Amino acid sequence: MKTIHSGLEQFKHAKLTAYLLASLGLACPVTGLAQTDTEEEDSEALEVIEVKGMRASVISAQATKMNSNKIMDGISADDIGALPDRSITETLQRVAGVAIDRYMSLGDPEHFSVEGNGVIVRGLTQVRSELNGRGTFSADGGRTLSFGDVPPELLNAVNVYKSPSADQIEGGLAGTIDLETRLPFHRDGQQIAFDISANYGDVIKETKPGYSFLYSNNWDTSAGKVGFLFDIAVSELSTRNDSMYVRPFFYRDDIAGYEGSTVYVPRGADWRTMYFNRERNGAYAALQYAPSEKHEFTLTYFSSDYDMQWNEDAIFVDNWPYGVQVESGAQFSDSGVLEKGRLVQEGGIPMGADVRASSQQAKTEDIALRYRYTGEQFLVETSLQRVSSDSAGLDNTVATQISVPYIDVDLTGSLPTVTSDASYLGNPDNYVWNFIMDNQYDRQADMTAADIDIQYFLSDGFFEAVKFGARYSKTSSDNADTGYNWSPLVPSWLQAAIVEGQENIVPDVSELNLNSFDNFFGGDVPAPANVYAPDASFAFGYPQSFQALQDRFVYADWSSWAYWNRRDLNDDQYTNDQTEETAAAYVMLDFFTDALGKPVSGNVGVRYVKTENTAHGYLQYPNNALFGNGAFTAMDAEHDYSNWLPSLNVKVELTDDLLLRFAAAKAMARPNFADLGANIVLNANLSSAGEASQNAGNPPEVEDYVLTLDSTQNPYLDPMESSQFDVSLEWYYAEDSSAYVALFTKDISGYQVPQLSQVEFGGYTYNASWPVSSADAEITGVELSLNHFFSSLPAPFDGFGVQMNYTWIDSEIDADSSSQPVDTDGSGYGDMPFRGLSENAVNLVLMYEKGPFSARLAYNWRDEFLIATNANGFTGTENGITYGLPLFNAATAYLDGSVTYRINDNYAVVLEANNLNDAVTKNEMRQNGPGNHYSAYHVNDIRYALSLRGNF
């Protein structure tokens, strides 16, 4: 029978690779190839090569890429814990075309994430996540697994697929990231491995433990072969992050000494310190049973449990920007931008000082049963999978207020200097209670999926095999989120409304905590002034502490809205429940020919998928008798769509070690569940003409009102679609060395942007401002990569190796002008790039491995990228202008390293370090008149991990 990729030389190469991988304990059981007697004889003659360490991981990843029928990259680990970083997210940034951001969420640049958060493939966030080739996710309102939640110790490899094939599950418009776990049949006999580590942050000065343990074995019995594997991993981490902020510049012609001339003055500046703690627990088990060579059953269970808590002490400007003045003697640039000076304001500059505590508990469980049948001419594989995930969190803020005499800013150095009157800030009598704010969320999601794939091997001819299959999934996503429930206490502007409780306006000193910001920015800048913020017990004592604070004050009737009321997560207006069913079928043909003078192989196919989504929520009519009188109506928004997804992957073997690939496909990505909410609030506001008519004594009419809908959700969003093309040239000039260049383009339709449109409810037309699937975009890029070990150099230099890759990406978006950012003077900007997309990215890894010693130094540099256009602190409404500045992350580099000493064949000691260059992550705000300025500066710990590893 003819096998896939039937050229003899190619077959031998693939078999050599398979046996090499098997020697590393990495290869999956051979499937889909019914061996002939000749093939069995060839396999017996093959030499099994034993390679360990970093070089083994490179060889394994290179072999996987070379033999793939798609364009892909990956990282392999030959021993437990051998992945080069402390989280999967950090690991992924080493792959060409993959980038990460380092914020708690991309829209919140004020809160830094040390281990990284969002994963972006080729400039897009629409990434599909898989576990052993099956879809998985986290319950965060999206469709992707939170990779930072997953312990790297549980994984065997991380594969990034950049060109799809028809047999791949749809949804990876940017690409698909598959987390591959170990299986007991990967390795004969027993394996026991462990890792004990201590994690230390040099700024927070705390040490946290981590450990993992693996047991694997398989047995040949009279009933067949049986294998069992169990793996657990626990890791704790504590870090500290210091930040400084310069707020937006405003166009001013009333600054003393500059009257009549336009100069640019910031609203103010502030600073904060954040403490982050997380515990990550993972468990994985696999049971395999093969009653005969033709039948194999695999049952896997995967669990990732992530508990996180961060708290901060911060002081932030809370003033009217046009009330700010600049004292004489200030330094302005030639273009009129304030560079150094003292900001003052009549009555003092109002600032808030808060303590904020945020916690999250998230867990994802994945259980799957797979059956595989290998016949003489066909292969059948079917699986049943259940994924359940939940994520619950609480975010509490309690703030005081102080009106400082001045703020001194100096923006002339590489780092700013921001401070104020230390003695004034150090007097607790100058503070009053400001506000309280809470946010509760509870998200649950589950999926049941079943699939079947059948591959039939054909006789001699151009087509080697036909593969077809089907998949069905049902997903429920229940998201409850109260939003941020802000309520004032007694800030200066509300004190006139206090009927009772005037004596409680100033906190008692025992209720405050003085933050002296010790070792701020590692001592690289003058320490800002001490700040009294509420004691942390007010944030951690929610909800009793919130209610106790609110009970201190009684407000006049005209301000009764000021009372804080705890929101109930179970109330209808805070829930977003959705059910989604997908049904997919595909057919794919594998082909091979050498009639063109070169071996050519690949696949061509088409996938059809139908999606039905029902979003359950509530529609609230305007609080007006003409338009429903504020009534709530249950709303089940149903939306369905179908997609045809053709694909073609071609591999040409120009020589034994030079491959040319071409791929063309249509891909799609569904909107996030959080964006598909059906909770809609309608508004009716009097127009200016309507106000004049009613003031004249006329009864209200429908035409007197402006009807609006303002939402971040739209249950009728369509999926994004992309027509994409890829070509790559790959040179495998040694078993451990390779180079490639890849070019790609994606033409995207249905890109989601906030936009103005009109919709009808209750017989009336509303002007809606909500996300719509209307924008078009185009992405073009190039990837360059090199892996090289200097094996031909004389000892000891033959232990050196290098990994390098470079990615260039360009993007264009054609979107409605209503979705564009606005400067503080009301002026607009040109088209913005994709959020999270860097034009240039570089990875450089220097390696050395000789005898028992190995070392790695990894450098990652990423060009600037757009974070948001409406981020907190950089948006607002002043003097009738609603502004939202484009905020970019400035180009930043990170340096990580590790050193390993293998005591013997069973034990090794490893020292790892992250952020060795003590990087300063900077944000840049773009403005038309003042130009571009750094708006935020973040520094965090250098992290060290010392580990003892064992493998038997």
3-state helix, strand, coil in the chain (%, to 5): 15, 55, 30
d(CA 180, CA 391): 24
Is residue 350's pLDDT more than 90? Answer: yes
What is the amino acid identity at position 131? L
Is residue 18's pLDDT more than 70? Answer: no
Number of H helices, E strands in the chain: 8, 49
Is residue 697's pLDDT more than 90? Answer: no
d(CA 649, CA 71): 8
Which stretch of DSSP H or E encloses residue 90? helix 88-92
The chain-wide mean pLDDT, for the chain, equals 88
Is residue 13's pLDDT more than 50? Answer: no
Is residue 601's pLDDT more than 50? Answer: yes
Residue 781 · residue 744 · CB < 8 Å: yes
- Residue 439 is encoded by which pair of tokens? 């946010």
- Residue 189 is encoded by which pair of tokens? 């006999």
According to the model, what pLDDT value does residue 712 have?
83
Q: Which of 17-26, 73-82, 334-343 has the lowest mean pLDDT?
A: 17-26
For residue 576, give the nearest of 405, 685, 445, 692 by alpha carbon: 445
Q: For residues 820-845, give the mean pLDDT.
A: 89
* Torsion from C-alpha of 423, 427, 433, 435, nearest 10 degrees: 30
According to the model, what pLDDT value does residue 296 have?
97
Spell out the SS3 assignment of 820-869: CCECCCCCECCCCCCECCCCEEEEEEEEEEECCEEEEEEEEEECCEEEEC
- Strands 764-789 and 705-710, by their bridges, are parallel
User: Sorting pLDDT into bands at 50, 70 and 90, what band is 819?
Assistant: low
- Residue 261 is encoded by which pair of tokens? 């001339």
For residue 294, give the nearest of 470, 95, 34 by alpha carbon: 34
Total Cβ atoms within 10 A of residue 217 = 16
What tens digit of pLDDT does each residue of 290-319 get? 999 999 999 999 999 999 999 998 999 989
Q: What's CA 503's distance to the chain center, in Å? A: 47
Is residue 814's pLDDT more than 80? Answer: no
What is the amino acid identity at position 614? T
**In 348-464, alpha helices (H):** 422-425
Total Cβ atoms within 10 A of residue 638 = 12
Residue 552 · residue 506 · CB < 8 Å: no
Which stretch of DSSP H or E encloses residue 473? strand 463-481
**In 685-790, alpha helices (H):** 688-695
d(CA 127, CA 27): 25
d(CA 140, CA 390): 8
d(CA 228, CA 411): 61
Q: How far is CA 402 from CA 341, 511, 531, in A?
A: 21, 15, 10
Q: Which of 146-150, 360-364, 600-604 has the lowest mean pLDDT?
A: 146-150
Radius of gyration of the chain (CA): 30
Backbone angles phi, psi at 121, to 5 degrees: -115, 120
- Strands 324-326 and 800-814, by their bridges, are unpaired
Is residue 743's pLDDT more than 70? Answer: yes
What tens digit of pLDDT does each residue of 480-516 get? 899 899 999 999 999 999 999 999 999 999 999 998 8
Residue 609 · residue 666 · CB < 8 Å: no
Cα within 13 Å of Cα(423), Cβ side: 0
Is residue 438's pLDDT more than 90? Answer: yes
- Residue 772 is encoded by which pair of tokens? 């719509």
Angle between helix 54-67 and 8-24 (nearest 10): 150
- Residue 49 is encoded by which pair of tokens? 């090569």
Q: Which of 16-20, 72-76, 763-767 has the lowest mean pLDDT?
A: 16-20
User: Sorting pLDDT into bands at 50, 70 and 90, what band is 14?
Assistant: very low
d(CA 122, CA 120): 7
User: Sorting pLDDT into bands at 50, 70 and 90, what band is 32?
Assistant: very low
Q: How far is CA 874 from CA 350, 565, 578, 779, in A?
A: 17, 28, 33, 28
User: Sorting pLDDT into bands at 50, 70 and 90, what band is 78?
Assistant: low
Per DSSP (E only), the strands in 175-294 are 175-181, 191-201, 206-221, 224-246, 249-252, 263-266, 269-292
Q: Which of 160-164, 505-509, 522-526 has the lowest mean pLDDT?
A: 522-526
Which stretch of DSSP H or E encloses residue 586? strand 575-593
d(CA 474, CA 447): 6
Q: For residues 921-948, give the mean pLDDT.
A: 94
According to the model, what pLDDT value does residue 81 have?
53
For residue 535, give the nearest of 403, 396, 404 by alpha carbon: 396
Is residue 68's pLDDT more than 60? Answer: yes
- Residue 441 is encoded by which pair of tokens? 């969320």
Residue 249 · residue 927 · CB < 8 Å: yes
According to the model, what pLDDT value does residue 11 have?
35
Is residue 84's pLDDT more than 80? Answer: no
For residue 287, give the nearest of 233, 232, 231, 230 by alpha carbon: 230
User: Sorting pLDDT into bands at 50, 70 and 90, what band is 689?
Assistant: confident
d(CA 759, CA 331): 52
Residue 229 · residue 245 · CB < 8 Å: no
Looking only at Cα atoms, what is the longest distance across the chain?
101
Q: For residues 881-899, give the mean pLDDT.
A: 93
User: Sorting pLDDT into bands at 50, 70 and 90, what band is 817?
Assistant: low
d(CA 514, CA 355): 11
Which carries the bigger pLDDT value, residue 86 or residue 246? 246
Residues 6+ apart with CB under 8 A from 596: none
Q: For residues 164-193, give the mean pLDDT.
A: 92
User: Sorting pLDDT into bands at 50, 70 and 90, what band is 16?
Assistant: very low
Residue 466 bridge partners (DSSP): 456, 589
- pTM, two decimals, is 0.87
According to the model, what pLDDT value does residue 755 have?
78
d(CA 616, CA 605): 36
d(CA 363, CA 306): 6
Task: Quote the Cα angle for 338-342-345, to 5°.
Answer: 105
Backbone angles phi, psi at 828, to 5 degrees: -100, 180
**Percent of the chain residues topping a pLDDT of 70:** 93
According to the model, what pLDDT value does residue 487 have?
95
According to the model, what pLDDT value does residue 554 have?
95
According to the model, what pLDDT value does residue 106 have?
67
What is the amino acid identity at position 125? T
